[in-house]
């Protein structure tokens, strides 16, 4: 099942944008964790999987910011997709 996130602003200074762009143009998988909270929030949960970026198209509307539309699909990797739950923080650290 492909994932179609909303269009993102074209921002080459953003590390996440660059990682997705590079995965598309280099035809390499990229690890995603699609969670219902922040990745460091105890109890946040969701799908973690290696994805192939199958669409990366630049949109240039006349009066708005340049955006990019992305489609990501689970792909073969050494790690099977899994349901991830961020563990509680260790109070001793």
Q: How far apart are CA 71 and CA 81, in angstroms?
A: 17
Residue 31 lies in a domain: yes
Residue 1 lies in a domain: no
**Token duo for residue 89:** 């923080």
pTM: 0.78
Give the chain's domain count.
1
Q: Is the pLDDT of residue 92 over 80?
A: no
Which is nearest to 67 in space by CA: 30, 17, 3? Answer: 17
Q: How far apart are CA 14 and CA 12, in angstroms?
A: 5
pLDDT tens digits for 38-84? 999 999 999 999 999 999 999 888 888 899 999 999 999 998 999 99
Residue 33 lies in a domain: yes
Residue 47 lies in a domain: yes
**Token duo for residue 23:** 């995965």
Residue 28 lies in a domain: yes
Domain that holds residue 63: 8-85
């Amino acid at each position: 099942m492909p994932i179609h996130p909303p269009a993102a602003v074209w921002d080459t200074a953003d590390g996440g944008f660059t990682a997705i762009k590079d995965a598309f143009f280099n035809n390499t998988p990229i690890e995603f964790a699609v969670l219902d909270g922040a990745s460091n929030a105890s109890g946040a949960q969701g799908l973690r999987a290696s994805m192939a970026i199958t669409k990366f198209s630049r949109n240039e509307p006349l009066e708005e910011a340049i955006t990019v539309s992305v489609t990501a699909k689970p792909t073969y990797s050494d790690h099977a997709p899994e349901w991830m739950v961020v563990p509680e923080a260790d109070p001793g650290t």
